């Protein structure tokens, strides 16, 4: 019979903060450009913690910790996720590309394909854009791949933190199928 795990059972399987800081991280980065909502930023941190992201890069006018509005949804993930802030994302993207990191934007473009059909290579950097304007043209021009989430209703996009979770967990699943975590 299936039963819900207790809080203690769930947390007994999780590393402590110091252990997490010493663990190998997945070769997946994320860069977010001009995110307006601090609650969205907190949610991005929380998802980034869940996938043991290599680094979360905040750029443009995206708010950064410490902020109570970020902490409200991050629930401590600002301490467990390596992150940095860059005013201009382009130099950081170019640096990542020089290191062989595939640049993947989540955006409707003339070349976008479904996130589920994409051919991802690792290391990878997932880029998410502003809640209203999306990813900037300058950043799109640097992308190796553009993916989108199929939208079947009237709306053409999801909340940035929801879209991030969908695409990020798909990418992590692909990575773990190719490179399983040691037991």
pLDDT at residue 165 greater than cutoff 80 = yes
The rounded Cα 143 to chain-centroid distance in angstroms is: 16
Handedness of CA 135, 96, 65, 50 (dihedral sign): positive
| Largest distance between two CA atoms of the chain | 53
The mean of the pLDDT values for the chain is 96
Q: What is the pLDDT of residues 3-37, one digit of tens each?
A: 999 999 998 988 999 998 899 999 999 999 999 99
Tokens of 17: 């903060």
Cβ atoms of 134 and 107 closer than 8 Å: yes
Average pLDDT on 59-85 reads 96
Per-residue confidence (pLDDT) for residue 11, from 0 to 100: 87
Per-residue confidence (pLDDT) for residue 73, from 0 to 100: 96
The pTM score is 0.94
Q: Within 10 Å of residue 7's Cβ, how many Cβ atoms? A: 7
pLDDT at residue 180 greater than cutoff 90 = no
Q: What is the pLDDT of residues 75-87, one digit of tens each?
A: 999 999 999 999 9
What distance in Å separates the CA atoms of residue 23 and residue 53, rounded to the nearest whole number?
11
What distance in Å separates the CA atoms of residue 123 and residue 24, rounded to the nearest whole number?
13
State the DSSP code for 130: B
Tokens of 23: 């663990």
What distance in Å separates the CA atoms of residue 36 and residue 29, rounded to the nearest whole number?
20
pLDDT at residue 147 greater than cutoff 80 = yes
Cβ atoms of 129 and 169 closer than 8 Å: no
Average pLDDT on 52-81 reads 96
Average pLDDT on 92-107 reads 98
pLDDT at residue 183 greater than cutoff 60 = no
- All structural domains of the chain, each given as residue ranges with its CATH number in brackets, are 17-178 (3.40.1280.10)
Q: Which helix (H) or strand (E) holds 126?
A: strand 124-128
């Amino acid at each position: 019979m299936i039963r819900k795990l207790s809080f203690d059972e769930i947390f007994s399987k999780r590393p402590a903060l110091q252990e997490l800081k010493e663990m190998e991280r997945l070769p997946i980065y994320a860069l977010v450009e001009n995110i307006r909502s601090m609650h969205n930023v907190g949610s991005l941190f929380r998802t980034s913690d869940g996938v043991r992201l290599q680094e979360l890069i905040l750029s443009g006018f995206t708010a950064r910790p410490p902020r109570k509005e970020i902490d409200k949804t991050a629930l401590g993930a600002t301490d467990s996720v390596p992150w940095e802030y860059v005013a201009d994302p382009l130099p950081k993207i170019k640096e990542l590309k020089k290191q062989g990191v595939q640049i993947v934007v989540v955006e409707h473009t003339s070349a976008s394909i479904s996130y589920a059909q994409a051919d991802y290579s690792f290391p990878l950097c997932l880029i998410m854009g502003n809640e209203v304007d999306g990813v900037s043209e300058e950043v799109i021009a640097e992308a190796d791949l553009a993916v989108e989430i199929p939208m079947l209703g009237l709306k053409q996009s999801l909340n940035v933190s929801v879209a991030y979770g969908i695409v990020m967990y798909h990418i992590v699943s692909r990575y773990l199928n190719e490179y399983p975590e040691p037991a």
